[in-house]
Structure 1
């Protein structure tokens, strides 16, 4: 269940994913949460504008860090933690080379209290320490650290990361860096890493001129849109349309129309009044499909449109179409600011997939599972603007307290008529002839006769440790490694190790395959 807002924060609408994200970054402290939310803009609270990184340091956060004894950090320790906090790759050798300290310095107090080292990788344990150290450093100190990191990354063969840190070390701007940064942002977006792409494109815009700057505006807008930051995206598209750059203006104008449609300003393509509500919702998603850049996003969104179009007249087909997309999708990960592998779906694409997954489950009679899917999605994804406020309507049907539905309605546009209609008659118990979402996935991916006997979890309990079983269950429920780590209070690296052991022990080779097998049952 996403954390609820405190009384201080209720004065303005706050999206559930913002509450959960900020809460995680301030250590779950309610006073720090309230103080931090109080410093955010209305658009940031609603999840439509990018959050500051790091978050502003409030008195409650500073007090918590002081209680954690980081107030005793000497200048060298602060420099090491500043470098660790801004470095976009987690390589210990790069951190050591850039700071000039021996590895023993990282293994001894006070630095060892704040850095976790595993297999040549590191992470800052407490994001509050990262925020405080960053705020306490002056501009000269930050730029010096970025310059040292850029030089070391260049020596280590990390050209993209070196370019990023070189840009942050350049106060006056360097047009020579801009084109490479725009290209990097475009590649990140093609990989599905919308948040990273936006950060890179934003930096490119501050360095570029002419057509390169116009491209940076456009890429930043697309990345912000696919990350779910509609207000931020609208600002970039407005800037792009005013540049006069050939090819950029038209693309920005079309993307701006999608932002307005998602925000409820425009209703999207007209549909006949007598069209089934599912088909009308599908038409609202079609413009989003056209904004997809990565192949993974496009496949997931096409499946969403297809499932919605089939939902009213052929619900079993809708179930099967969406099931395949659900079990093959790689969830969006908040973990990697600088991803180096397959990043998964962008937040906007996964938000559409999860909300419609919850709808299909609801319509199939599985309201409890629909609630679990929607609750998880609302806590980490921009679900408020999906398909004319569909998330709020599904939440109204499955959320007993009504608080989730209320927060989604407050943070997003009012539900459109087809969203209300498609949830009005959400059905009763599922009939035996109608397969569940995951049973459909098994039949589509493995065939109806390829089923083991008994309960798979009971069998796996005999070969997996208790912690491996916990990890397998959470991954099978669609959680990314960072989310699993947060749930189990362990590091991401620990989750990766457990997951590798799970794969070997149960004989699967991917998260999708694990999910399919985990949800199979004997007939």
Structure 2
């Protein structure tokens, strides 16, 4: 998978990981076939915003693969039938063809089939692309018609209706009714893409209100599948001509889909869609549900003002339909949790979002990460059978499952299990639209986890980044800073952090570990409203800040207090980063024995967390300690790391004076260089000594070299 993604990225054919996984499954993981098909897809299809075409386009690579294949008309018809039907039972295929199983297996087409335990499938899924491309529309309709009759005789009305509709040239309203019912059942079972296909087929055979109903079902299926572009098209087709009832039912899904496409929640007034009559309870519930979804989308993005506006609508609608307990309370609680205040609202609902997700995040934010993980990992057949009043019918959808997968990854990060978190997200990325939940949190996690384990951002994370809409992109400055810091380029890391801070220091509302190791305490203090993190991680972050801010006078007490508090941290990753900063600060103060002890402890903890790149960074710092000071003393004019670190404590003129002093220039020489008086140089130098807590030029020069060596 990574090789395929890397190849596609190199060709500027960016595909969502789960799209590449589906292409690989349907093209026998043949790289040339995958690349050629990807070239023929639209950008929205490659990024997972629209469904893949069915069948996939025939490409030269697939044609070459079967150029020597010769089949009789009967075998071609059987192969086409196997391709067109949705099931895998052998009995139906045998009944269609008329040959016995033994005869079928011995025929030339038998070599193209895998028959086992009463089931049959194609030995190479590319046969499906090949045979459909070579079959005329008349031949395809004929096979569909025969399959329809066969399934009708077997009593399978859903399959019969599908094939009858596909064979029809003039429309089949009766088949459409059956397909709509089948699509609803598939939707509840979590098979959204199949439901989408059936609902769209039904819409092609009817008109008016019945067509609108089928398009509503198709749009909701597209939302659940994460196909935001398809959802906007299908649900948007209901405005303004469909009935008020259908438009009301479509509103929530349309708001979700537009947000995923545009990267921001549509700026609309909830009152514009408020039901006109107080009697229509169903319409009021639809409006309340749509308001709840919009409020959550705003909360994910940290947009508090519109979130409050939509929550007011939730409260109003819930009061009308009596949904305070099952809808209003859990939505309010989840919104405020995502907005940074887990103490607002204690309500809990049922289902995967209003129930499981809310409880898991609340527990983890309050410190009980293990219980939160147990809730999210409960995949038993009895899990989440209760309906979720916020997303009824979509409880098992890929989108809802993606929310749970991203939340589980986040909790593993909070627990300090970096390696396991990355593996969990990689597994989810090839199955689900993980770039959509929580305003792209899955993308941020993928990038940070790659950096922690690999030391660089991998192809899966790069592909996920491209899936985000233009307005919802991630801020890569912190990622750049982490990559530089792990590579030992502290000056580049500090510069990236400063740019990030100048841009407002944007962070996900659900906290993901950043980089405090190169920042000054006063500049990295967290805002009172977020991000949301468990107590353990908040303590670890504060400890790193304290170490960075410690003066020479406060260092002994701060150091000892941080050491004791660090022992209480349960996350191995969080504690390792505190130990790393302790080691670096000891090294700068020329206490190599203590520095080695803390750096070795950091290395072991990083390894336990699965953060291999951070462990290598700790080992690099240890190796620097092991090198003799004479070998490590840099030329004064090359003190780039020292200059970067001091730039955060000194003014621009003080920094120039300090660096010239370290280079050995006297006061008169510094004055001539900077075109200032000797007295001005003396004043600046005195301020430098005070800020850096040294007494003279000798100590200033020694500090410069230690900073360059160990940071």
Report the TM-score, using the length of structure 1 for normalisation.
0.71
Provide the rounded CA distance (Å) in 2 between the counterparts of 1:136 and 1:53: 14
Measured in 1, the distance between the counterparts of 2:567 and 2:32 equals 48
CA distance in 1, matches of 2:445, 2:198: 35
Deviation at 1:185, TM superposition (A): 0.7
* Counterpart position of 1:33: 34
1:152 aligns with 2:208: no
1:405 to 439, 442, 461: 461
Whether contact under 8 Å (1:178, 1:204) holds in the other structure is: yes
Change (3 A) 1:273 1:213: closer
Question: Quick check: 1:279–1:308 contact (8 Å CA) kept in 2?
Answer: no
Note if 1:266 corresponds to 2:265.
yes
- Name the residue aligned to 2:421: 370
Residue matched to 1:248? 246
1:32, 1:347 → 2: CA distance? 26
Change (3 A) 1:159 1:379: same
Contact kept, 8 Å, 1:178 with 1:208, in 2: the verdict is yes
Say if 2:345 is the partner of 1:345: no
Contact 2:356–2:376 under 8 Å retained in 1? yes
Deviates more, 1:182-191 or 1:17-26: 17-26
1:414 aligns with 2:473: yes
Tell me which of 202, 218, 226 is aligned to 1:228. 226
Residue of structure 1 in register with 2:356 after alignment: 303
Give me the whole-angstrom Cα distance separating, in 2, the residues matched to 1:54 and 1:35.
14
What is the CA distance between 1:351 and its match in structure 2? 1.0
1:490 paired residue number: none
Structure 1 unaligned segments of length 5 or more: list them: 285-294, 332-342, 437-523
Report the counterpart of residue 49 of structure 1 in structure 2. 50
Q: Any gaps of 5 or more consecutive residues in structure 2?
A: 267-293, 308-333, 341-348, 383-393, 476-505, 515-532, 542-565, 573-711
Change (3 A) 1:193 1:435: farther
Q: Is the 8 A contact 2:8 2:15 kept in 1?
A: no
Match of 1:94 among 92, 108, 115: 92
Contact map agreement 1:95 1:149 (CA 8 A) in 2: no
Cα gap change, 1:213 to 1:273, in 2 (>3 Å): closer
3-state SS in 2 of match to 1:315: coil
Match of 1:164 in 2: 162
Q: Looking at CA atoms only, which structure, 1 or 2, has the larger radius of gyration?
A: 2
Q: Counterparts in 2 of 1:315-464, with a 5 A limit?
A: 315-316=367-368, 318-328=369-379, 345-399=396-450, 400=454, 401-403=456-458, 404-412=460-468, 413-415=472-474, 417=506, 419=508, 422-424=511-513, 427=537
1:25-61 deviations in Å (ceiling 9; x for gaps): 2222222221111000000011110001221111011
What do residues 431-457 of structure 1 show as CA deviations (whole Å, max 9, x unaligned)?
A: 899699xxxxxxxxxxxxxxxxxxxxx
| Cα distance between partner residues in 2 of 1:303 and 1:32 | 41
Judged with a 3 Å threshold, the aligned counterparts in structure 2 of structure 1 residues 92 and 310 are, in CA distance, closer, same or farther, namely same
Give the equivalent residue in structure 2 for 1:497: none
Distance 2:424 2:60 in 1: 36
Equivalent residues of 1:37, 1:45 under 8 A apart:
yes
Number of the residue aligned with 2:524: none
Moved more, 8-17 or 126-135: 8-17
Deviation at 1:414, TM superposition (A): 1.5
What is the correspondence of 1:254-293 to structure 2 with a 5 Å cutoff?
A: 254-263=252-261, 264-266=263-265, 268-269=294-295, 270=298, 282=338
Q: 1:7 to 1:121 in 2, by over 3 A?
A: closer
Question: TM (normalized to structure 2)?
Answer: 0.53
Partner of 1:65: 66
Aligned mates of 2:467, 2:230 — CA distance in 1: 15
**Residues of 2 paired with 1:136 and 1:195: CA distance?**
25
C-alpha displacement of 1:180:
1.7
Please say if residues 220 and 233 of structure 1, whose CA atoms lie closer than 8 Å, have aligned partners that are also in contact: yes
Equivalent position SS for 1:265: coil
Please give the per-residue CA displacement for 1:487-511, whole angstroms capped at 9, x wherever unaligned: xxxxxxxxxxxxxxxxxxxxxxxxx
Does the Cα contact within 8 Å between 2:75 and 2:108 map onto a contact in 1? yes
TM-align CA RMSD: 3.2
1:187 CA displacement: 1.4
Q: CA deviation at 1:371?
A: 0.4
Cα displacement (A) at 1:308? 2.9
Does the C-alpha gap of structure 1 residues 258 and 344 become closer, same or farther in structure 2, counting only changes over 3 Å? closer
Distance 1:221 1:39, change over 3 A: same
CA distance in 2, matches of 1:183, 1:124: 29
Aligned residues of 2:363 and 2:371 also touching (Cα < 8 A)? no
Deviation readout 1:147-201 (Å, 9 max, x if unpaired) = 1111111111211111111111112211222122111111111122111111110
Q: Contact 1:282–1:306 at 8 Å: present in 2 too?
A: no
Quick one: distance in 1 between partners of 2:380 and 2:465?
A: 27
Deviation at residue 406 of structure 1 after TM alignment: 2.3
Aligned to 1:11: 12
Distance 2:567 2:403 in 1: 26
Provide the rounded CA distance (Å) in 2 between the counterparts of 1:281 and 1:51: 36
Task: Return closer, same or farther for 1:302/1:116 CA change in 2, 3 Å cut-off.
Answer: same
Give the 3 Å change call, closer, same or farther, for CA 423–161 of structure 1 in structure 2.
same
Q: What's the secondary structure of 1:123's corresponding residue?
A: strand
Moved more, 424-433 or 126-135: 424-433
Taking the aligned partners of 1:7 and 1:239, their CA distance within structure 2 comes to 34
Counterparts in 2 of 1:281 and 1:41: CA distance versus 1, 3 Å: farther
In structure 1, distance between residues paired with 2:143 and 2:35: 32
Higher relative contact order (CA 8 A, sep 6+): 1
**How far apart, in 2, do the equivalents of 1:35 and 1:329 lie?**
40
Q: How many residues align?
A: 408
**Equivalent residue, structure 2, for 1:182:** 180
Determine helix, strand or coil for the equivalent of 1:24: helix
- Quickly say closer, same or farther: Cα 1:220–1:9, change in 2 above 3 A: farther
Q: CA deviation at 1:301?
A: 6.2
Where 1:387 maps in the other structure, the secondary structure is: helix
**Could you list the per-position Cα deviations for residues 346-367 of structure 1 after superposition, in whole angstroms to 9, with x for gaps in the alignment?**
2111111111111100110000
